[in-house]
Amino acid sequence: MINILIADDEESVCSALSDLLQDDEHYHCDVATNGQEATRLLESNHYQILITDLKMPVMDGDRLIASVRERDKDISIIIITAFYSEDNAIQNINQFQISGYIKKPFKLNEVANQVEKVAINIELQRQEQSYRRKLEKQLQYQKKELERKSNAYVLELIQSLNNTLESKDRYTYGHSIRVSRFSRLLLLDAKIEIEDPKNFFYAAMLHDIGKIGISDSILNKPDKLTDAEFDVIKSHPVEATKILRNISNIEYIKKVIRHHHERFDGKGYPDKLIGEAIPVESRIISIVDTFDALISDRPYRKGKTFEEAVQIIKANLRTQFDPKLGEIFIEVTVKNFSFINSILKDFDHRVFINY
């Protein structure tokens, strides 16, 4: 149904047009005898077509058209006037996108034809809009599907890299996944906002990937490392950025990984960043990474208990760790003790992080 507003000070014109157009199937008509009345109706109803005279009392058609067009760029406007001038008509048509211009006295079929033309146009526009909406929906679905597939692919790729690392460094089995899951728990539970949650979890999973480039004899040495060997270990955040250098658009991931061994007091590596100059994501990973290392068994020592690990994190707030994030971490860990325990018992390598 198309709603039509007819504005004309001659009541006979209004009723003739209304009688001509009004039907139960296609058109509903309202009438107004001046621009002000028409404006009121336009404010409270939605019309697709305005048929208006130009010379009317109270508010003339020119002012009505200007104010309508300001509010509604889609309404189709047909002018019917006795004061026709070609210059005026051309100016109006260009300025206000007028769909039809009819001279009085007019023939009824002239108006009927003009309205039908406009109605066909409106229908075409409706169809085009609905087609566009469908197309947009379809594209959105395809985009999401592509994103989902590429996320799954990226995760598999990351997992393969981790498998490579874990086959070299047998003491860190499952460490990357646990760090990413603990980090996720921390973010969700404490409602910490970060720039890019999805890529943050990728970074958490890949944080030690630089160790791939370190020799097995250093990585698996059961005794205390020499200073020179420790320097080699310390190169792994920078090595990670080298391993990932050919992958484009992952600057965020590289940045988070590079700084995961910085310390809050500036005594970390590789860049000795201090406090909040360290990316917040790296500060989070630093805490979670240490916690997981503390509670994990090593060949030369048994893993600490949760309580012991929490105490060690607490003792190193402000020096090694961001104190605010550390407090949050302790609170969340204590609160989710049994859940974290279940992650430890239950984790496997096929875990998929749905974020």
**Cα(45)–Cα(7) distance, rounded to whole angstroms?**
14
Burial-class residue 152 by CB neighbours within 10 Å (0-12, 13-18, 19+): exposed
Question: Which CB, 42 or 257, lies closer to Fe ion?
Answer: 257
DSSP codes joined into one string, 10-39 = -HHHHHHHHHHH--SSSEEEEEESSHHHHH
Question: Which CB, 98 or 214, lies closer to Fe ion?
Answer: 214
Least Å distance, CB 271 to Fe ion, is 14
Question: Which CB, 169 or 208, lies closer to Fe ion?
Answer: 208
What residue is closest to Fe ion based on CB? 208
Residues in contact with 319: Cβ distance below 8 Å, sequence separation at least 6, in sequence order: 263, 264, 265, 267
Q: Is the peptide bond before 105 cis (omega within 30 degrees of 0)?
A: yes
Number of Cβ within 10 Å of residue 161's Cβ equals 18
The footprint of Fe ion on this chain (CB under 5 A) covers a number of residues equal to 1
**Cα(228)–Cα(56) distance, rounded to whole angstroms?**
95
**Cα(28)–Cα(31) distance, rounded to whole angstroms?**
10
Question: Which CB, 115 or 219, lies closer to Fe ion?
Answer: 219
Question: Which CB, 209 or 330, lies closer to Fe ion?
Answer: 209
Least Å distance, CB 212 to Fe ion, is 12
Question: Which CB, 5 or 240, lies closer to Fe ion?
Answer: 240
Segment lying near Fe ion (by CB under 5 A), choices 7-15, 187-195, 203-211, 325-333 = 203-211
Which residue out of 107, 149, 211, 242 is catalytically annotated? Answer: 211
Least Å distance, CB 323 to Fe ion, is 21
Segment lying near Fe ion (by CB under 5 A), choices 56-64, 110-118, 122-130, 200-208 = 200-208
Give the DSSP H/E element, type plus range, for residue 79.
Answer: strand 76-81
Give the DSSP H/E element, type plus range, for residue 77.
Answer: strand 76-81
Binding to Fe ion (CB under 5 A) within 204-233 occurs at 208
**Cα(330)–Cα(262) distance, rounded to whole angstroms?**
20
Binding to Fe ion (CB under 5 A) within 272-301 occurs at none
Number of Cβ within 10 Å of residue 301's Cβ equals 8
Residues in contact with 138: Cβ distance below 8 Å, sequence separation at least 6, in sequence order: none
Least Å distance, CB 132 to Fe ion, is 50
Question: Which CB, 8 or 322, lies closer to Fe ion?
Answer: 322
Determine whether 221 is an active site residue.
no
Residues in contact with 191: Cβ distance below 8 Å, sequence separation at least 6, in sequence order: none
Least Å distance, CB 131 to Fe ion, is 53
Least Å distance, CB 289 to Fe ion, is 6
Least Å distance, CB 147 to Fe ion, is 29
**Cα(195)–Cα(279) distance, rounded to whole angstroms?**
10
**From residue 228 to residue 267, what is the string marking binding to Fe ion with x (rule CB under 5 A)?**
----------------------------------------
DSSP codes joined into one string, 134-188 = HHHHHHHHHHHHHHHHHHHHHHHHHHHHHHHHHHH-GGGTTHHHHHHHHHHHHHH
Amino acid at 347: F
Segment lying near Fe ion (by CB under 5 A), choices 161-169, 186-194, 201-209, 346-354 = 201-209
Could you give the residue numbers annotated as active site? Answer: 211
Binding site for Fe ion (CB under 5 A): 208
